[in-house]
Amino acid sequence: MDDTIHILLIEDREEHILQSRVLLHRFPRPIKIYIARTIIEGEKIARYLLDIKHGLTVVIMSDIHLPLASYAAGIDGTYLLNLLADDIRANRLAQGILIAVSSEMTPERFALGSHATAELWHKPLNHTHLARLSDLLDQGPPWVLPRDPQSAGQESIIRDVMAMARHMWLNLRPDAATQAGKSILGILTRAITLSPDEYKDGLILVNQYGGANVLRGFLRRHPQNEQLSAQEQRFFSDLLDGIPQNTALTRAHLTRRKSKAVLNTLYRHISTLVLTKD
């Protein structure tokens, strides 16, 4: 059994990352630290660690104010914590310790964060926080408690905000969006060769958005497929049906030379549809 405590720190400021690393390495239990500098990266790593199949003990510490590329206002980290908490309550993710961390804990942030977790810590991290973390680990799960009735109706807002964040990320990082689409298509079809890291990312994304069968059906029936050319639609449909790539190219009357451009178009198309999916 893995007795390591897996700690994900979602933080964009290097000085806070360094301070937190130094302090956490004094924690008197075996730990492994993961760093995410954006809310999008944080969601991906968090979902991987909280996958029920892994059976890990996970602590997620998220900064409140998380800039999103050129969007100066950023996305409040408590939206991610609330989204994860809802999925934990629905048994889509394993139990974990969720902690909101901020040097600017306004009443509004406190209220939103408290729907996900009772742990709202002020920066910088200190030995009192380590002692509290040790107490939480000793208490054992469930760490995420049932939803407060006063927060009814917030779930759809939280999911909308996170969908907006992903959509902004796709526009700001087209290279990463293409890579995400490739990883997803590689898992769904086995027609795309993936590196070990691409395969792992693809599994996380496919599991996050409902599993392979659900995503195949979602992609087959999506009305935005009409935006693809007739050749691209035929090629895409054949790949989702499990037809080998070379055969699918022939059936769609596409040349091998043109296949790279068509695949990149499909990768971006897939990432737009999937990563903005509710």
Helix (H, G, I), strand (E, B) or coil at 161: helix
pLDDT 10s digits, 46-57: 988 999 988 999
Q: Which two tokens stand for residue 249?
A: 């190219």
For the chain, give every domain's residue range.
5-152, 173-275
For domain 5-152, the question of CATH label 3.40.50.2300 is answered with yes
66 beta partners:
75
pLDDT above 90 as % of the chain: 42
C-beta separation of 184 from 271 below 8 A: yes
Q: How far is it, in rounded angstroms, from Cα 187 to Cα 205?
A: 9
Confidence of residue 274 (pLDDT cuts 50, 70, 90): confident
pLDDT 10s digits, 81-114: 888 888 898 898 999 999 988 877 666 666 666 6
Q: How far is CA 39 from CA 33, 56, 211, 245, in A?
A: 17, 21, 22, 35
pLDDT at residue 225, rounded to an integer: 92
Q: How far is CA 122 from CA 25, 29, 97, 203, 235, in A?
A: 19, 23, 16, 35, 53
pLDDT 10s digits, 116-151: 777 888 888 999 999 999 999 999 998 887 776 665
Against a cut of 0.85, is the pTM above it? no
Q: Which two tokens stand for residue 134?
A: 């040790």
Question: SS in 3 state form for 4-66?
Answer: CEEEEEECCCHHHHHHHHHHHCCCCCCEEEEEECCHHHHHHHHHHHCCHHHCCEEEEEEECEE
Q: What is the sign, positive or negative, of the torsion defined by CA atoms of 49, 51, 54, 59?
A: positive
C-beta separation of 128 from 101 below 8 A: no
Higher per-residue pLDDT: 56 or 163? 56
pLDDT 10s digits, 207-221: 877 788 989 999 999
